[in-house]
Amino acid sequence: MDNNHESNEVTANNEHEVVEYRAEEKKSVWQFALRQERFESEEKEFISSRVVKDAGLRDGEGVVLDAGSSCMAVWQQLKESIKRSSTLLDVYTNSFQILRDWEVSSRQSPSISATDVHILGTKLDSAHQAFFGDIAENLLKPANFEPSVIVLGTSGIRFDPNEGLLFGYHAGIQERAFKQLLMQVKTKKRFILASASKVGFTGAHRFDVLSLQDLDLSAPLILVSTHPKQEEDDDIKRRFDESFRMAKTPKMKDLFLRNRGTDCTVDFQWILLDPVSGQEVDRIRITNRENQAVGFSAHNDDSKNVAGIKTQSSY
């Protein structure tokens, strides 16, 4: 009898410890998500503001927002735009952060309440605050939904003339499949968001965007990033400069244009923003569109000297 009582106490204690552990784990996840939102928050605000401006979403159009703090910043900008103009948008996302914010904001704003938010996933990855699952592929079929804009976050992006346009991710196979799906869905504009610290470094998990089967190049593919700050770590500056140099090489241009055929239009743009003012200081463009020079073109203005950032003409 005593042994049974002791065994029950041990079991109860173990269960209590498991509950405490899970509560602590959940708290840790939320704290990490909050830290990510605050990390490089000014740069993310500049990037998201530019994306929302260039997206030019109109009443009745749809947008797909990836999970992550950078796309959360885009949602915040979109939310303010919706409040000002009462624009009705269809928002599809796999972000738990966006879903949670939409639920709270809907109780405070009729315009946000009228905004439809659809979740692209059935299983929550709490560590990455993202939903995943096969449902996304069905929901994003042209017969069900045609987004005007798709916005992707990344853990890193690198230009490699030998390997291609390398896109980093860190949540495993499910995230990889979701990112690749967002590269394949038909749209009018596709944005990739990356602060300066993410340029030139992809980590252990990555895929080549340009090698994707069924990659959709019918719409402009636009990378929006900030330049490194002057006080930035030297390694970050070095990686960024290397990617900037590689993006302009003829070999990189060939990777974008290879085997695309005469009917396929390619329009890749890399918009670089000043990390202090948020103004555009540079742009790289690789395109075969008729109204543009075939291949590489660069935007610059020799008169620009924004917050001490070098423009294209300085490289």
**What confidence score (pLDDT) does residue 291 get?**
52
Place of tokens 């949540």: 171
Residues 6 or more apart in contact with residue 91 via CB below 8 angstroms: 62, 63, 65, 75, 78, 98, 102, 115, 116, 117, 118
The DSSP annotation for 125-162 comes to ETTTTEEESTHHHHHTSTTT---SEEEEE-SEEEEETT
Q: Break the chain into its structural domains and give their ranges.
A: 1-38, 41-314
| Of residues 78, 192, 186, the one with CA closest to residue 140 | 186
Angle subtended by helix axes 69-85 and 96-106, to nearest 10:
30
Confidence band (pLDDT; 50, 70, 90) for 35? very low
Which residues face 295 on adjacent strands? 287
| Of residues 298, 257, 259, the one with CA closest to residue 165 | 257
**What confidence score (pLDDT) does residue 27 get?**
46
Asked whether the beta carbons of 183 and 212 are under 8 A apart, the reply is: yes
Q: How many CA atoms lie within 13 A of 294 on its CB side?
A: 6
Candidate from 1-5, 249-253, 257-261 with smallest mean pLDDT: 1-5
Angle subtended by helix axes 69-85 and 2-38, to nearest 10:
60
Which residues face 165 on adjacent strands? 159
- Over residues 32-52, the mean pLDDT reads 76
What is the separation of C-alpha 264 from the centre of its chain, rounded to a whole number of angstroms? 25
Confidence band (pLDDT; 50, 70, 90) for 128? confident
Asked whether the beta carbons of 65 and 71 are under 8 A apart, the reply is: yes
pLDDT at 293 over 70: no
% of the chain with per-residue pLDDT over 70: 78
**What confidence score (pLDDT) does residue 5 get?**
53
- Over residues 124-136, the mean pLDDT reads 92
| Of residues 48, 137, 41, 155, the one with CA closest to residue 94 | 137
Confidence band (pLDDT; 50, 70, 90) for 89? very high
**What confidence score (pLDDT) does residue 119 get?**
96
Confidence band (pLDDT; 50, 70, 90) for 236? very high
User: Which CATH number does 41-314 carry?
Assistant: 3.40.50.1360
Which structure tokens are listed for 199?
């340029």
**What confidence score (pLDDT) does residue 299 get?**
54
**Model-level pTM greater than 0.75?**
yes
